[in-house]
A and B are shown apart, each in its own frame.
Chain A
Amino acid sequence: MRKFLSLVIFITSCIEPYNLEIRGTQKALVIEASVTNLAGEQFVRLEYSYSLDGAIPEPVSGASIQVTDNEGNSEVFQEVWPGFYQPSSSFIGVVGRSYQLAVQTTDGTQYQSQEEELLAPSTSVNIYGEFLVLRSESDGGFDRGIQFLVDIEGANEENHNYRFEYEENYEITVPYASLLEFDPSNGTINRRDPPLGLCYLSEESRDLIIATTSGQTTSELREFPIVYISEDEPDLIGDYSLTIRSFRVSSAAYQYYKDLEENNESAGSFFDRQKGSLIGNIQNINNVSEPVLGYFEVAAVSEDFKVFEGGTWKEDGFRPDQTLQHCGNLLDTIQTVDILNGNINFGSRLIYNFGVSDFSVPGTNYSVITLLAPASCSDCRSYGTLDKPLFWD
C-alpha cells in the first residue's frame, strides 16, 4: 500500500529517518536456490539471517544438497565457496520437468522444497522508454524522466508470472576530458589514446521486480514498468542500453515474491499490510514450524537488450541535467614550462588541454598555457570504465 505513503507524508511531513534500534536478533536459515534453463545459472546459497547492524551474513558450510527431477534424475551440488553451492556437472533445467530441492545441514536437519515445474520461457521482450512527468515524491513539483517499460507477447492463454532483473549500461562523459598527459620520464606532454572523455557504466538491479498477467484479458504483458530515470540522473545523457533478464516463475513463486515485496515496504501508516515471517516453498521436514527464509526458484530465463542513443527523447522535451557544470570553475591555468620542468604537483588533477594565452609569458615566446582539471571533471574513469560493453556494436 505504498500509495498511501505520500498522502501520509503530505499531512504530516514529519517522516524522519529512524535509527534502527536493535531489539534482539533472530537467526533463521536462508536458502536461495535457483534452477534455470541457462548454463551456469544453477546454484544454492545457504546462510543465516543476521543482525540489523551486521555487515555480512554467516554462510552455512558443509551441507549436502541435491536437486531431483520428476523423472528420477538427481544432481548433487558442491560447495564452491562458503555457503555457495553449484552442480559439479553442466546440469541445466529442462522445460516441462519438475524439480525438488533437498538440503541437509551438518547437524542433520533436513529441508525439502515443494516440486516446482520449469515453465516455458517468455517470448521476445520488447523494451522501450516513454517520457513521463510524475509528481515528485520529495516536493510539490514534478519529476520529469523516462520510464522504461516492457511488453511481452502472450504465448498462450495461461497466466504468466515473471521476475525481472536488469542491467543498465550507459555512457558517461566528463566536460574536460583529459586529452594530454605529462610523461615525467622524458619530460614531454603527450596526447592520450584514448582520451578520458567517454566511459561506460554498468548498474544492476537490486530490487525484486515481478509481474503477472493474472487479472488481464490476455496473457500478454503490456507497459510493465522496469526502471525510471529522471532528468537529474546522468544515465541518459549519452547512449544507454537496458538488458532485461526475464525469469518465468510459477504463480506460487510470484505470490511469495509479492508477499516479500509487501513485507519489505511500508507506508508507516495503518494501511500497511501485516508484517511477519513468510512461508516459502522450503520447510524443515521434521519441524514445519521452523521459519525457513528464501525460495527454491525454478525458472526459464530469457535475456533481451536494447540500446538507446543519447537524445532519443529530446523531441518529447526530455532534457537531462548536464552534470559537472561546475567544472568550468575548477580549471587551473598553468605555465606549460612549469609542467615541462617538472615543477607541478598534479595531485588529483589531470591535463585537459593546451590553451592560448593573450599574453606571452615574459621572457619566453610561449603564449601557450596548460589547463588542468580535477579528475572528477577530466577523467571519466572516476565513474566507469573505458571498455565499451561487448554487446554494443
Chain B
Amino acid sequence: MKGFHSLFLIFISGFCLAQEEQFTNDSIPLEEAIEQLKAKQQNLDFFYRSEWVNNIKIHKDNLSPELATEEAITLLLKDTRLNYYLNESHVILLFNTTILTPQIREIESVNGDNVSDNVRKVIFQNENANEDPENKLFVIGNIKKYKKESNSTVNGRVILENEPISGVYVFNVEPFISAITDESGRFSITLPNGINELNFQSVTTIATKRKINVYSDGELEVKLDVDIVALEEVIISTQREKNINSIQMGLISLDPKQVSIVPAFLGEKDIIRVATSTAGVQNVGEGSAGINIRGGKADQNLFLIDNNTVFTTNHFFGFFSAFNSRGVGGLALYKNGIPLEFGGRLSSVFDIKTKKPNKEELEISGGIGVVTSQLQLEGPIDKAKTTFLINGRGTYSQYILDKFKDSSIGNNDVSFYDFTLKTYTKLNDQDEVALTAYFSHDAFKVKSDTLLSFSDFSYENKVIGASWKHVFNDNLFGILEVGNSNFGYLSSYDILPTQAFNVDLFVNEFRTAAKFDYYVNQDLNYKFGIETKSYTLSPGKKTPNGSASLINEQSIDKERALELAPYVSASYNVSKKLAVDGGVRYSIFNSFGPSEINTYEAGPPKQSSTIIGTKSYKEGEVIHSNHGPEFRVQGRYLVGSGSSIKMGYGRTRQNMHLLLNAASIAPTDVWRLSGPFIEPQLADQLSVGYFKNFFGEHLIEASVEAYYKDINNLLDFKTGAELQFNPTIETDILQGDGKSYGIEFSIAKSTGWLSGWLNYTYSRSFVRLDGDNPSEIINGGVFFPTGYDKPHYLNSVTNYKFTRRLTMTLNVVYSSGIPVTYPVGKWDFKSSENILYSDRNEFRIPNYFRLDLGLNINASHKLKKFTHSSWTFSVYNLLGRNNIYSVFFEVKDGEIKGYQMNIFPTPIPTITYNFRF
C-alpha cells in the first residue's frame, strides 16, 4: 500500500494551479458524473478529496456507466489529472500521481538503471511534504500527458505581496534556460520533462528557487519576499536575458539601483542623467537639458510621469533633472518600437514611474547634499489598503554659487524645489486606484546687462493624474486614466518704469486614456485603447508692469486642439524562436478657434509686409486638421543559445512643437501646435539589432543596433528667427527633411564585484531646408548636419565593489564636438565691424572628454538597525579637463571678439549623506 500512503503525501499546497480544461454545455461536473456512475454500478465506493474534484468538469460523453468498471472509470477521468486505484469495489482517486503499476515501474527502471543524459529523472510520487517551498517538489502538468525525452512549457506567475512583479529573472540551472517576468508577473519557460530547478532573482526580492517535476505543459505560481538588505546593492540581474528574449528593441530600462551607481552630479542622483550614459542617448552637455535621441531634436522626447506629460524636465538650466530620483521607481526609455499606447513625439518616450510606496511600514528617507536636500515619506494607511509616497526637494545651499566667485548674482537668486505625491488604494481584488501629483518650481534672476532684457524668470510644472485599474478576469484588465499637465512661465522686467512688462505663457494638456490588456495565452497578448489629449496653449501674453508702463497689453492668440488616438497592438509568439509585436495607432488632430490667422501673399516669403489680411475663426471652428496612421512593428528571432536578432519599424507623429533652434531646451522656449503654418512632423525609423549574452551564466550582455530614420517636416528656423513672443511665428519657421542613421554598440556586465557598461555610438543627423525664397534656403538647400550631430559618442560606467560597504564608480564620456556656425570673415557697416558667418553648422567645436569618480560608503548592513545611512563622495570632471562647451563671437565697441565657454573646467567635489529609517 505504498501508493496509498503516498496519496496523502502528494497533496501539493496551493502553488500549483489546476489546469482547467474548457468545457461548455456538453460538460457535467465530475462529482455529478461520479454519482451517476455509482448509481449504475452500485457496488463501487469512491474515495477522494473534494478539492480535487471541485470545479472539475468532464465531457458528458466520457460518462459511460454501461461500460465495465475499469473502462468506465478510465474514460471518466480521461481529461483530468486524476488517476485511480481500484481495490475491489474501492475506487481511490489519485491527484496527479499514479500508484506504481508494473508499467510505470518500467519507466522508472529506465530512469534509475540505465541513466542516460537525455532522460531526466521523473518522480511519480512526491518525496516529502516539506513546508519550505524551496525544498518542496512542485508538480507541473498532467502525469497522463507525460512523455519522456520531450519538452514542456511552464507558464508561471510570480507575485510579491499579492502583486504581480515584473522583471524577475527566472532561470533553470541545467540546461541553462531563462526568462523574465512581464508586467503581469508572467513568464514562460520551456524545459525538458522531469526534475528541474528554477531560480528566481530580482532586485527587490530575496532570491529563491523551486524544484519542479515537469510532466507536461503546466503552470506554477511563485511567491517572493521583499529583500530589505539589498537596497544599496547593485543588482541589474533582472535585465539579464531580457535583452535577448524581449521583442522590444531600442529600449533602455533603468531602475533606481542603476541610478545609484553612476557618480552623482553635485550630490544629486539623477535617473535622466544615467539614461544619458546609455547607447544612442546624447546629452548636449553640462547645464543643458537637451537630450538628443538617435538624431532627434531635444523636443522630440515625450517625458511621462505615471503617463502624464511633463513639459519642462529640468531644474536650474538643466543641471538637475526635474525628477527626484528618490521617488522614481523606474524608467523605460523607448528609442524605437515605441509601444502604441504612446504617441505625440518623434524620437522617444521616457516612461517614468513613481516608486511603489512601502506597504509594510512608514519609511522616512532623505539626503543632504551640498546643493539640494530632500526628504521622502512613504507607507501604508488605512490598514494598508492605501499606500502613499510624498517627497520634496529644494535648493538650500549656496555651495554652487560660492564655487564661482565671479558670481554676478546675489544670494537666493536661483532656487528650485519640487514635490511628488503618489497614492495607491486597493478597493478590492479587482480594482485599484492610484493618484499622482507632481509640482516643480524654478525661479532665477538675471542681471540686466542691456536695459531692456528680462530680469526675473520663474517657471512651474503642475501635473495631476489619476488611474483606475480594473481586472475583469484573469485575462483581461483595463486602465482608465485622467490627467492634467500644466507648464507655465513668467518673466518680467521692471528697471525702467515706462518699459516695465511681464510676459507669461502656459501650456495645458488634459489627457484621458482607456487602455485594455487582453492576455489570450502565453503566446498571444492584445493591447488596445484610446488616448485623447486636449491642448490649450498661450504662446505669450505681454502685459504692462506698473502704472507708469507704456507697454501695450498684447497677447498671441491661444491655441486649442484635440488629439484622438485609438490604438491596437498584439504581441504574438509565432514559434519558440520567433515572436512579433506590432500594431497601429491612428492620430486625429484638430485645432479650433477662436483665432485670427494671418493670410499671406502667395509668392513672396511670409513676412510682416506680405500679410494681406486675417481670417477669423469662431469658437470651436476647426482651423486645421490632420490625421494619419502610425504603424509600428518589431520582431525577435532567437538564434542559438543566448542570442537573438531583432528588427523593428516605427512611425511617429508630432503635433506639438517646441520652438528651439539650438540643440538644447531652455525653460523660455515656447510650445506651439500644428496649424495652418506648421505641418505635423513625421518620422519613420527602421532598426535592426543583434543581441548576445555570454560568459558564465550569461553575465555579459552585448548588443549592436543600427537604425535609419527619415523625418518629414522637421521644424527649423530662419537665420535670426525670433522665437519668443512672436505673433507671426510663421514668418520665421522653416520645415524640411531630416535624416539620421547610426550604429550603437553596447556591452554590459551587471553582476559581480566588477560591473558596468560601455557604449559606443556612431551616428549622424542631417536636415535639408530648401524653400522657395532665399531666406528659406539654408546652405544652398542641401542636407547639412544638425546642431546636435555628434558622430562619435562613447560612454561607460565602471563600478567596482571593494567590500559590501565600499563601492567605487568611474564614469567616462567622450563625444565629438557639436557643429557650429563659425565666423569666416568680417565686414564694416554703420561704423561697426560685423560678423560674416559660415554656412550653418559648417564647423565643429573641439571634442569633449570627461571622467567622474564616485565613492559610496554604506554605514551598516545590519538588517535590524534602526537607520540605514550612506555617504556618497563624488568628483565631477576628475581630470579638470577644460572642455569647450561652446565658442561664440560678438561685436563689442565695433570690434569682433571671440570667446570660449567652459563649464566646470575644474574638478567639482561633492558629498551627500543619505538616510533611511
Contacts and interface: CB of A to CB of B under 8 A. Distances in A.
Interface of A: 2-20, 23-28, 30, 32, 47-52, 54, 57, 132, 134-140, 147, 149, 163, 204-208, 215-218, 220, 222-223, 225, 228, 251-252, 255, 258-260, 262-279, 283, 288-289, 293-295
B900 A12 contact: no
A273 B832 contact: no
Contacts of B401: 10
B404 A27 contact: no
B448 A7 contact: no
Interface stretch (B154-162, B662-670, B796-804): B662-670
A57 B826 CA distance: 9
A13 B838 contact: no
Given A19-B898, A215-B551, A26 B824 contact: yes
B828 A30 contact: yes
A116 to B, nearest CB: 12
B446 A274 contact: no
B719 A134 contact: no
A289 B822 contact: no
A50 B774 CA distance: 23
B894 A207 contact: yes
B899 A18 contact: yes
A24 B890 contact: no
Contacts of A274: 661-662, 717-721, 821, 840
Interface in B275-298: 284, 287-288, 290
Interface in B432-453: 444, 446-453
B75 interface: no
Q: Which 6 A-B pairs have the closest CB atoms?
A: A276-B719, A270-B664, A206-B894, A3-B453, A268-B888, A266-B888
Interface string B636-672: 0000000000000000000000000111111010000
B837 A269 contact: no
Contacts of B887: 18, 268
Given A23-B822, A266-B888, 11 more contacts: A12-B287, A12-B903, A19-B898, A20-B823, A23-B843, A52-B826, A271-B662, A273-B661, A275-B719, A275-B840, A277-B837
Contacts of B554: 215
B412 interface: no
Contact of A3 (B446, B496, B552, B663): B446
Given A139-B408, A263-B834, A288 B774 contact: yes
Contact of A16 (B663, B824, B836, B900): B900
Nearest to B316: A11
Interface string B760-783: 000000000000001101101000
B830 A3 contact: no
21 contacts: A3-B450, A4-B666, A6-B447, A10-B401, A11-B404, A15-B901, A23-B824, A135-B410, A137-B449, A139-B408, A140-B408, A204-B831, A205-B831, A215-B542, A265-B890, A266-B899, A275-B821, A275-B835, A279-B774, A293-B829, A293-B836
B827 A3 contact: no
Contact of B902 (A16, A134, A223): A16
A135 B445 CA distance: 11
Contacts of B901: 8, 12, 14-15, 268-269
A293 B834 contact: yes
B834 A206 contact: no
A276 B905 contact: no
Interface in B809-846: 821-832, 834-840, 843
B287 A289 contact: no
A50 B834 CA distance: 11
Contacts of B448: 3, 134-135
Contacts of B777: 289
B8 interface: no
Contacts, number: 273
Given A3-B454, A216-B551, A222-B499, A270 B824 contact: no
A222 B904 CA distance: 42
A15 B825 contact: no
Contacts of B319: 11
A26 B448 CA distance: 35
Contacts of B889: 20, 266
B405 interface: yes
A139 B408 CA distance: 5
Contacts of A17: 897-899
A18 B121 CA distance: 77
B477 interface: no
Interface string B393-432: 0000000110011111110000000000000000000000
Contact of B719 (A149, A271, A277, A293): A277
Nearest to A211: B452
Contacts of A147: 451
B135 interface: no
A289 B903 CA distance: 38
A222 B550 contact: yes
Nearest to B727: A215
Nearest to A34: B830
Nearest to B662: A270
B891 interface: yes
A135 B447 contact: yes
B126 interface: no
Nearest to A252: B609
B241 to A, nearest CB: 40
B607 to A, nearest CB: 8
A30 B775 contact: no
B317 interface: yes
Contact of B400 (A11, A252, A276): A11
B902 A259 contact: no
Contact of B828 (A47, A216, A273): A47
B893 A207 contact: yes
B449 A5 contact: yes
B870 interface: no
B331 to A, nearest CB: 24
Nearest to B407: A10
A354 B428 CA distance: 106
A148 B37 CA distance: 111
A195 to B, nearest CB: 33
A276 B829 contact: no
A55 to B, nearest CB: 11
A124 B447 CA distance: 33
Nearest to B497: A223
B368 interface: no
Contacts of A206: 831-832, 893-894
A139 B406 contact: yes
B53 interface: no
Contacts of A266: 888-890, 899
A10 B831 contact: no
Given A51-B825, A223-B498, A9 B288 contact: no
Contacts of A7: 317, 409, 444, 446
B552 A217 contact: yes
B285 to A, nearest CB: 9
Contacts of A265: 890-891
B896 interface: yes
A216 B501 CA distance: 11
Given A220-B550, A252-B609, A272 B827 contact: no
Contacts of B284: 270
B258 interface: no
B903 A49 contact: no
B898 A49 contact: no
Given A23-B824, A27-B825, A220-B550, A289 B452 contact: no
A25 B828 contact: no
A28 B774 CA distance: 16
A12 B904 contact: yes
Contact of B774 (A9, A11, A283, A293): A283
Given A264-B890, A270-B662, A24 B838 contact: yes
Contact of A50 (B317, B400, B825): B825
Given A215-B552, A217-B552, A264 B891 contact: yes
Contact of B409 (A10, A132, A258, A294): A10
